Amino acid sequence: MRRPSPARLLQGVVLLVVVVGAASPIDETMHDLVFRYLVSHEARLLANGFTLLGTSEAATGILGGLALVAYRTADATLWPASLGGLAGLAIGGVTAQAIKHLACRARPRLVDGWGTGETAPSDLPGRRGFFHGPCFAKWKYHSFPSGHANTAFTVAAALSAAMPTRRRAWLVVAAGVAASRVLLNAHFVSDVLAGGLIGWWAGEAGLALARRYGPTLPRRPVAPRTAGARGERDGQPAETR
């Protein structure tokens, strides 16, 4: 029997935490602990910078730029990775939006009674939990899953495929984006964990599609070697051969 890889085991543990956290008061307890012991003015300033990296505009710009570089340089590793990342953004974006509109979870600011956007007294039980539908165009009920975490981990999956030796760095940056959404009171912990899982899976799906169905790089014409060049390659001038 084949043993699951450590990465798959970690994803399974995260998925379990998401389910338990979203289905119990643990999520709000963890949220309170974060704001009691971790949040500061400096932390929120740093979070504002990280959260910009999780926007779809930033992700599309990064992966699109890498695709252009790969095309111009005929990089056979970077090309499918960047195209797969772009495909993963589309897959993850559609998946996350579908779940958001099904889950209809209130954002933390509606539960806590503070934060940017619409707020409410924290003692309104009707604001808590899931399924406040229909929630079309009601972004304040689009807490689960986190779109920023989804986008960040899709990009991390693509960059890990292009530059696997720096995989830990990409995951740290993606985790920073996910943490920023909690620090800015935009999501609960289970929201960003779910978004990260969806993003990573979407990135892997996009990479698989790009490798199988994506366009190949055009062949670059090879300049013909002159007689002089061939002679120098052999270690002697052409006229002495």
Q: Give the pLDDT confidence of 121-143 residue by residue, as tens digits.
A: 555 556 777 877 778 877 788 88
Range 207-235 average pLDDT: 70
Q: What is the pTM of this model?
A: 0.82
Q: Quick check: 2 pLDDT over 80?
A: no
pLDDT per residue as tens digits for the range 152-175: 999 999 999 999 999 999 999 999
Alpha carbon distance 171, 117 (integer Å): 30
Instruction: Answer yes or no: are the C-beta atoms of 140 and 118 closer than 8 Å.
Output: yes
- What confidence score (pLDDT) does residue 120 get? 53
Average pLDDT over all residues of the chain: 82
Domain spans in the chain, listed from the N-terminal domain onward: 7-216
pLDDT per residue as tens digits for the range 84-130: 999 999 999 999 999 999 988 888 877 765 444 455 555 555 677 78
